[in-house]
Structure 1
Amino acid sequence: MSITVAGEKSEGQQVTGTTTGLDLYGDDKTIVAVRVNGELRDLSRPLLDGVEGAEIQIEPVGNASPDGLAILRHSAAHVAAQAVQAAHPDAKLGIGPPITDGFYYDFDLATPFTPEDLKDLEKRMTRIVKERQRFVRREVSDDEARAELAQEPYKLELIADKGGATADDGASAEVGAGQLTIYDNLRRDDSVAWKDLCRGPHVPHTGYLPAYALMRSSAAYWRGDQANPQLQRLYGTAWPSRDELKAYQTRLEEAAKRDHRRLGRELDLFSFPDEIGSGLAVFHPKGGVLRKAMEDYSRQRHVDADYEFVYSPHITKGELFEISGHLGFYKDGMFPPMHLDEERDEDGTVRKPGQDYYLKPMNCPMHCLIFRSRGRSYRELPLRLFEFGSVYRYEMSGVVHGLTRVRGMTQDDAHIFCTVDQMADELTSLLQFVLDLLKDYGLDDFYLELSTRDPEKSIGTDEEWERATAALEQAAAASGLDLVLDPGGAAFYAPKISVQARDAIGRTWQLSTIQVDLMLPERFGLEFTGSDGARQRPVMIHRALFGSIERFVGVLTEHYAGVFPPWLSPVQVIGIPVAADYNDYLGEVAAKLRAAGVRVEVDTSDDRMQKKIRTAQQSKVPFMLIAGGEDAEAGAVSFRFRDGRQQNKVPVDEAVAIITDAIRDRVQV
């Protein structure tokens, strides 16, 4: 047997059948687990336990790595649950998985958690951590697990459903298709302080948790299904150090200041009236101006890149989505059908059967029909179709969030039809087009994610998927950006590259997506006449640049904290007269600006000048032009910027040039 430890042969480190990860790494508290031949394991478990093969690879897992952070946070979730049951013995355990930047745990509890509860629970967690309780793994049979957890009805359901547990509802953190395990939290005298059904792994003992906090609580349906009981969800976070926890909390504070929902209200951009429904936004005049500026610039860039504009209806017969495969693979994400066109006689006999219509969740099937509407020649390819198309997706109410997760959205959707020989060059130029356009909106820190096939939820042959995936990998390599894999994350019809953009405070947003589709052209029978006169199947490339207009407005609002660059600002200039006598003078200045295409208003209210300045600053207007007697006599204005800087007696023509140059160059001021 050949054993490699941390990349080196183990001649100098004796690994026997009883050697554990603690024997190798117990002195380093930053190592929280080991990976043995790719399998994550507790440090306390014998390294060779159940391992087969002539080659054994052993690697330490640090607490700053993605797997290490997940283990740290899952362990903290157990400590939080132990604290809850200590404070509320009647609380029944749900599921407690690690999530991005933290963890949650669900409880069946008579009353919701209060802020005071969270403070008390944190203190209890601290006592548990100081006790250095050990996480000890035990393998148990299904019957043994049921007997030990007889008072935990939700755990019993997980045991019964262990073959169907998924990552979607967090259940896979607790049970899998095979062996069940329970983790005991043991005190120093080996007495059991608490236990939980869990797959692990966990840190060796609670002393490995240096920094944690409980963040908030909310209601949540058991396993995300509204037909199930409503539980109380406790959210927390855990980090390798107190400094990292503090940095995270600071980021959250900054994110709260940038919350697009709050800024949308304060800047009068958009709202979500209850009378319309969850996840359905209305844009107010200022938000409409912002959105129009974004769309107009995007349209012009698409014109310059030889895209052709198309339009399609909001609803369609269900047959279209049967052909495309959406009804088979995506129906849960679609709104229920509307049964229409049925005709009956007076006695109720059906004279003409009706049919189901659906709100469209995607534009691509309709673009396929546009391509198929007449014969196509290779001379027309690549054919680039573009649409700002409204689509509708039935998101669960629990995941709807402002503009970033909506039910009604407008996609800047493009579909490119090309030959197989054109595919590689088209993908490379398309990705560069996407990145350049995002940079124009002020985002410039990117990496790429490649989502590959899920064999259980896809159509097409292995060869087709391999060819499409290879083409995307080639385009990603040409971009020079980092590429990370998302195994099994592709849509049912195509692999995908997504552009992940970091905003001003370092958060990552998935924006543009590019998919190589070899399936829909087959399903819709798309063809073109090749140079040899033979009929050929085109390649179809899907591309959504912003993701959706709504989501991109939300992302940019938070990226800029509402302080949009002049070219995007709903109001670019506010004229502020020192007194009402100068309203007309600033009206003339505003007319010159409007003639130059600038969005300008003059504040003619009865407020004092300083109040008008404060109002303009609160509205985050880029430029304020102040005018009094001396300014009017000199044909000038006093320039005031939103950061407080001021430049006096600027000639009007020069002021117009400064403003129009800033708008044209898309600079931030």
Structure 2
Amino acid sequence: MEKEEFLAVYRHSMAHILAKAVIELFGKEKVQYAIGPQIENGLYYDFTLPRTLTADDYKMIEDKMREVIKRREDWTCKEVTKDEALELFKDQKFKTELIQELPADEKITIYYTGDDYVDLCRGPHVSNSQELMNVAFEVRSISGAYWRGDETKDQLQRIYVTAFADKNQLKEFKKFLREAAERDHKKLGPQQELFMFDETAPGMPYWLPRGWKLFNSLLSFWRGIHEEHGYQEISGPILSNSKLWQTSGHWGHYKDNMFIIPGEKEDESDYYAAKPMNCPNAILVYKSRLRSYRDLPFRVAQVDNIHRKEKSGELNGLFRVQMFRQDDAHILVTEDQIADEIKDIMSIATQIYGTFGLSYGAELSTRPDDFMGDIAVWDKAEASLKEILNDVYGEGNYEVNEGDGAFYGPKIDLKMKDALGREWQMGTIQLDFQLPLNFDMKYAAQDGTVKQPVMIHRAIFGSLERFIGILIENYKASFPFWLSPYQVGVVPIRTEHNEYAKKVVDALKAAGIRVEVDYADKNMNEKIKAFKTYHDPYIIVVGDKEASEGTVSITVRGQKQQLHDVSLEKLVEMCETMNREHSNELLTTAD
């Protein structure tokens, strides 16, 4: 077996060990066990138990699991009929429900661990518990979960276990977890006064002054690149009548995820909805006047607020929110412009991700079960994207995710890795032959005929909120100079140096540098500490010498040595250079 297959078998088998251990701890009559799959870095199992588990129970569970493993019991696979399975699991409601849904002639397999524990499972598993003797594992956490993810069904307790082939791998993973915890944007964001949440608007972030400066710096960078590539920015309504969403197909395919406002009539035609996507806005702008082939490619970009309903348990800081801004762009092209346009989009992605030092790869997602439109049109669209990816990456050098496309067209997802090696799905490029058809979009072709354009939906950041959350963790809130909320903190040593400090501040502001200053009559080190807490890239200290010579002393973030006797003009030049070049590195010399 390949390494990942090997780990999957061991982790899946460990899930059965976990279930058996929990049943022995609490008694067979008091435990209902649901499902227990292997997952990345370990496994989990869902239960209903006679009491709520706490962190104090972790060791007890681990010790019982080790006891079960040391018995070196055989694992036996047996094929049974549906009736036999129902009889075997008659006291287990979750297993019974799963079995009842199976076809009458379904091949059902069960696995025994020893003689007293049996589970409904396809396998494969180890042949004897002794094969698990060297597996390094720990109970990682316990959380609530709903049966089958449905909040109307039973609430379960989910026990997560981390499991690796040996102790060294487990040790490295725990080190990774500690580092990830230190970078957690949900902790760093509020600490750095970037954003906050309030219970009156779940999953809808408030951007605080420092965070909004960062947000707009990122947006300004994005706008500059898109202007170079011929995009025009638009904005559209947040609320639109349901008729718009019915035409687009969202009402039929996405209604449950939309915030809906009933109108005066009970008829849904009088309903309004907060937009979950920007594409209908771009379509109506395109249709606002007659278009010809000379207008194509027609590129519009949009960063309006969009809203999507999420279950409360799925909200996760900036990573999973209900209100966000997506760096949307919609391009209308002729069929023979598709390849060049998508290649240009990929060049934009390379430019943007490269600025942050982030590598990325591509994944093609194909027709889902609830697709809209003609299969022949879908086949054509998928073939077009495969041809482009083969040209850009080479055949076989990208992933294919069957059945995960949008309901109106196949897509290319752009996945990048951060400083911890974690992979994130960020940008997306979706080819759409359906919405132009639904909205009767046309253009006058060069040959005098009227034709239908092809629509490309695309985003590079995806959600700006989510991207900023990733950046917070990637940089540990120590952002590059050009992106930092405040780029320079100015510290006058004493109040008599405030006048010169103001001259420094004014010179920086005139050059577009984001600067903050503390004129208060307090200890210099206290002021410096405050700016360091906010991770300001440059901290400028001015005293008698600097005021008399027209210079500054610079403390560079992360550097022990100060830069002394730097002229005010040179300071401005250094700051302007880092802003212009969008450098990831701070200038540490005035040469």
Task: Give the TM interval when normalised to the shorter protein.
Answer: over 0.9
Aligned to 1:97, which of 23, 32, 37? 37
- Report the alpha carbon displacement of residue 87 of structure 1 after superposing the two structures with TM: 1.3
Conserved in 1, the CA contact under 8 Å of 2:246 and 2:252?
yes
Cα deviation per residue 1:99-148 (whole Å; 9 max; x = unaligned)?
33322211112322211211211122222223333332111122211211
- Report the alpha carbon displacement of residue 388 of structure 1 after superposing the two structures with TM: 0.6
Distance in 1, Cα, partners of 2:553 & 2:6: 57
Distance in 2, Cα, partners of 1:491 & 1:71: 33
**Corresponding position: 1:185 with 2:129:** no
Aligned to 1:451, which of 339, 346, 365? 365
Structure with bigger helix share is 2
- Report the alpha carbon displacement of residue 521 of structure 1 after superposing the two structures with TM: 1.0
**Corresponding position: 1:522 with 2:432:** no
Distance in 1, Cα, partners of 2:484 & 2:500: 24
- Report the alpha carbon displacement of residue 354 of structure 1 after superposing the two structures with TM: 6.6
**Corresponding position: 1:136 with 2:76:** yes
SS in 2 for 1:545: strand
Q: Tell me the residue number matched to 1:146.
A: 86
- Report the alpha carbon displacement of residue 204 of structure 1 after superposing the two structures with TM: 2.8
Aligned to 2:503, which of 588, 593, 604? 588
Distance in 1, Cα, partners of 2:25 & 2:522: 56
Conserved in 1, the CA contact under 8 Å of 2:194 and 2:212?
yes
Aligned to 2:145, which of 199, 209, 220? 220
Q: Tell me the residue number matched to 1:235.
A: 160
SS in 2 for 1:425: helix
**Corresponding position: 1:126 with 2:54:** no
**Corresponding position: 1:461 with 2:382:** no
Distance in 2, Cα, partners of 1:267 & 1:284: 10
Q: Tell me the residue number matched to 1:77.
A: 15
Q: Tell me the residue number matched to 2:417.
A: 502
Aligned to 1:321, which of 240, 245, 250? 245
Task: Please identify runs of 4+ aligned residues in structure 1 that moved more than 6 A.
Answer: none
**What is the identity, as a one-letter code, of the residue corresponding to 1:290?**
L
SS in 1 for 2:262: strand
Distance in 2, Cα, partners of 1:518 & 1:443: 34
Distance in 2, Cα, partners of 1:536 & 1:372: 14
Q: Tell me the residue number matched to 1:44.
A: none
Q: Tell me the residue number matched to 1:638.
A: 553
- Report the alpha carbon displacement of residue 462 of structure 1 after superposing the two structures with TM: 2.9
Distance in 2, Cα, partners of 1:233 & 1:289: 40
Distance in 1, Cα, partners of 2:152 & 2:336: 51
Q: Tell me the residue number matched to 2:316.
A: 401
**Corresponding position: 1:260 with 2:185:** yes
Conserved in 2, the CA contact under 8 Å of 1:501 and 1:511?
yes
**Corresponding position: 1:283 with 2:283:** no
Identity %: 38
CA change 1:353–1:659 in 2 (3 A) is closer
Q: Tell me the residue number matched to 1:339.
A: 262
Distance in 1, Cα, partners of 2:522 & 2:88: 72
Q: Tell me the residue number matched to 1:5.
A: none
Q: Tell me the residue number matched to 1:531.
A: 446
**What is the identity, as a one-letter code, of the residue corresponding to 1:123?**
D
Q: Tell me the residue number matched to 1:201.
A: 124
- Report the alpha carbon displacement of residue 177 of structure 1 after superposing the two structures with TM: 8.8
Cα deviation per residue 1:272-292 (whole Å; 9 max; x = unaligned)?
11122x211110000100001
Distance in 2, Cα, partners of 1:541 & 1:248: 40
Q: Tell me the residue number matched to 1:297.
A: 221
Conserved in 2, the CA contact under 8 Å of 1:341 and 1:354?
no
Q: Tell me the residue number matched to 2:589.
A: none
Q: Tell me the residue number matched to 1:311.
A: 235
Which is worse superposed, 99-108 or 401-410?
A: 99-108
- Report the alpha carbon displacement of residue 596 of structure 1 after superposing the two structures with TM: 0.6
- Report the alpha carbon displacement of residue 206 of structure 1 after superposing the two structures with TM: 3.0
Distance in 2, Cα, partners of 1:595 & 1:616: 21
**What is the identity, as a one-letter code, of the residue corresponding to 2:149?**
G
Give the length in aligned residue pairs. 578
**What is the identity, as a one-letter code, of the residue corresponding to 2:383?**
A
Q: Tell me the residue number matched to 1:246.
A: 171
Which is worse superposed, 238-247 or 566-575?
A: 238-247
SS in 2 for 1:414: strand
Conserved in 1, the CA contact under 8 Å of 2:89 and 2:95?
yes
Distance in 2, Cα, partners of 1:457 & 1:177: 28
SS in 1 for 2:314: coil
Conserved in 2, the CA contact under 8 Å of 1:268 and 1:286?
yes
Cα deviation per residue 1:573-622 (whole Å; 9 max; x = unaligned)?
00112222212211111110111110111122344222222222221110
5 Å-filtered alignment, 1:408-487, equals 408-440=323-355, 442-454=356-368, 456-480=369-393, 482-487=397-402
Aligned to 1:657, which of 573, 579, 582? 573
- Report the alpha carbon displacement of residue 86 of structure 1 after superposing the two structures with TM: 1.5
CA change 1:509–1:607 in 2 (3 A) is farther
Distance in 2, Cα, partners of 1:206 & 1:628: 72
Conserved in 1, the CA contact under 8 Å of 2:26 and 2:50?
no
SS in 1 for 2:529: helix
Conserved in 1, the CA contact under 8 Å of 2:136 and 2:164?
yes
Conserved in 2, the CA contact under 8 Å of 1:339 and 1:354?
no
Distance in 1, Cα, partners of 2:456 & 2:20: 51
Cα deviation per residue 1:454-487 (whole Å; 9 max; x = unaligned)?
2x21123333222212222233234338411111
- Report the alpha carbon displacement of residue 559 of structure 1 after superposing the two structures with TM: 0.8
Aligned to 2:52, which of 112, 115, 122? 112
- Report the alpha carbon displacement of residue 374 of structure 1 after superposing the two structures with TM: 2.3
- Report the alpha carbon displacement of residue 434 of structure 1 after superposing the two structures with TM: 1.8
**What is the identity, as a one-letter code, of the residue corresponding to 2:360?**
F
- Report the alpha carbon displacement of residue 443 of structure 1 after superposing the two structures with TM: 3.7
Conserved in 2, the CA contact under 8 Å of 1:341 and 1:353?
no
SS in 1 for 2:271: strand
Conserved in 2, the CA contact under 8 Å of 1:620 and 1:642?
yes
Conserved in 2, the CA contact under 8 Å of 1:428 and 1:478?
no
CA change 1:627–1:207 in 2 (3 A) is farther
Conserved in 1, the CA contact under 8 Å of 2:188 and 2:472?
yes
Distance in 1, Cα, partners of 2:105 & 2:569: 74
**What is the identity, as a one-letter code, of the residue corresponding to 1:487?**
E
Conserved in 2, the CA contact under 8 Å of 1:443 and 1:502?
no
- Report the alpha carbon displacement of residue 438 of structure 1 after superposing the two structures with TM: 2.0
Distance in 2, Cα, partners of 1:341 & 1:377: 40
Conserved in 2, the CA contact under 8 Å of 1:76 and 1:212?
no
SS in 2 for 1:78: helix
CA change 1:296–1:353 in 2 (3 A) is closer
Q: Tell me the residue number matched to 1:37.
A: none
Which is worse superposed, 559-568 or 176-185?
A: 176-185
SS in 2 for 1:525: coil
- Report the alpha carbon displacement of residue 353 of structure 1 after superposing the two structures with TM: 9.3
Cα deviation per residue 1:224-281 (whole Å; 9 max; x = unaligned)?
11111211111122223322222222111111111111011110000111122x2111
Q: Tell me the residue number matched to 2:480.
A: 565
Distance in 2, Cα, partners of 1:502 & 1:539: 31
Conserved in 2, the CA contact under 8 Å of 1:516 and 1:542?
yes
